[in-house]
Amino acid sequence: MHLNDGSKITEEQIEELNANGPYSMAIWKSGDISVGNEEGLAGRSEYFLNLIRESILKNYTMDEIKNFSILDIGCNDGWVLHQLSDLPFAKMVGIEPRAKNIEKGRTVRKILKLENSVEYRVGDIESLQGEVFDIVICAGVLYHVESIPLALRKVRESCRHMLFIESRCISSNYITQELKDEIEMRDLVYQFEDEICGVTAQKYESAYYDGSAAHNTIVNVPTTESLVMNLNILGFDNIDIVADADTYRRDVWKDKRPLGGVCISATLPDEPKTLESEEDNWINEYEIGLENEVLPRSLLEPLYKFFCLQDSEVKFSGGLKTIHDYLTMADNLPSIDKSVLPDSNNGKFALEIVKNWRYSPYDKIALEYGKLLKHEGVLDEAIKVLKSVTTNKINSDWRSVYRAFHLLSLIYQDQKNEKESNKYRELCMKSNYKFPVKHG
């Protein structure tokens, strides 16, 4: 057995390598010597290494790389950065919480006479203490942590330009329509973002093996969607699934193992926009859109009389009957879509308003009727109707209350009553301090 330089490996060195094993993540090679036994993981590291290299060279030139730093989180024995050390990075750092893994990498490189300029450190993501790298690799890590969102927030803090993730994952087939219905994807964010949700599977994991969690814990195995959602909320763009679960299983496991894997590259723009930072824009667009959507009297008046004035003589037909049944029936609800609305109210906000009447119809219909009266210039009557929302009972619908406060403030402003206008402006902001519409 000879190394690259023609020298032979000794029995003592073989024993030292065996003592430092298992080398189960990848194959270290020199001459005709190979150190590593990947067993059921054969070819995995080589596979995602090639995808990492492709992603780096796709996004950056050699001149850019010369000024870049790269970090490998959970680098194990350091094989990945060693293989990438032919690229002219200005700084290469691998961190690994297990001192044994760092030592086994140092041992194999010494014995096989393999050199690189990588700095290997014992530590986890917390040990970086604010240090930032242009490119970050997070391979074989996320399914060994207690909280993927928290881990990725820390990864984001250490990343300046590009992140590459490799992770085992569970099948997206678990994300069913039944699941989506059960978790009720009704948040404001879904007014503006794709209807996406994810699943993670929890399992026990001990710290017994070198490639497992750093301590005995419960870990999470995500779906691809879970990872994409986390990257999205952290401000990454150009989120590219360079190997999806089916591709990974076919190329790496040869369909012989049930588990899936995923490889994702993502970049950070110069001025990242996180979902959190976008919230103000969404709230502004949503609330103004609802406020500007004035439903016609022909639709509102019969419903206002029936639900708010308790006029049981009101008769409903056509779209109004569908709405009435939707609001009053406990089971077998009719479908509510744009067909129940007049042609002039075919936008998403009109339908959103009507669908939301299902809960607290008195408050919500009264709000819309008061809005209509304001629009028609019947201000004193509008005040009376809107105050029926804010004063008639305790525990009025919260959204109807702060929106009614806002409309009352605007009405009193039109009437040059600054005292009352200011009063209702303050009540609106007390009720919902994020309410975006400017007053005065």
Tokens representing 124 are 């986890």
Q: Which amino acid is at 394?
A: I
Please give the pLDDT value at position 341: 87
Amino acid 439: pLDDT: 47
pLDDT tens-place string over residues 357-386: 998 999 999 999 999 999 999 999 999 999
**Tokens matching residue 412:** 């009193």
Identity of the amino acid at 353: I
- How many other CB atoms are there within 10 angstroms of residue 24's CB atom? 17
What DSSP state is assigned to residue 86?
T
Q: What is the pLDDT of residue 42?
A: 66
Q: Report whether pLDDT(388) > 70.
A: yes
pLDDT of 80 over the 70 cut: yes
Report the pLDDT value the prediction gives residue 40, as an integer from 0 to 100. Answer: 57
**Tens digit of pLDDT for each residue in 85-96?**
999 999 999 999
Can you give the pLDDT at residue 243? 94
The pLDDT tens digits of the residues spanning 47-74 come to 999 999 999 999 999 999 999 999 999 9
Report pLDDT for 125: 86
pLDDT of residue 364: 97
| Residue scoring higher pLDDT (279 or 113) | 113
Query: CA-to-CA distance for 269 and 238, rounded, in angstroms?
Result: 9
290 in Cβ contact with 353 (< 8 Å): yes
Q: Average pLDDT, whole number, for the chain?
A: 91
CA 425 to chain centre: 34
Beta-bridge partners for 260: 169
The pTM (predicted TM-score) of the whole model is: 0.82
For the chain, list the domains and their CATH numbers: 11-273 (3.40.50.150), 277-431 (no CATH)
pLDDT band at 208 (very low <50, low <70, confident <90, very high): confident
pLDDT in tens, 402-438: 999 999 999 999 999 999 999 999 999 999 999 986 6
According to the model, what pLDDT value does residue 342 have? 82
Instruction: Give the whole-angstrom CA distance, residue 189 versus residue 201.
Output: 24
> Is 80 exceeded by the pLDDT of residue 7?
yes
pLDDT of 440 reads: 44
Helix (H, G, I), strand (E, B) or coil at 69: strand
| Comparison of pLDDT for 272 and 18, the residue scoring more | 18
Helix (H) or strand (E) holding 73: strand 69-73
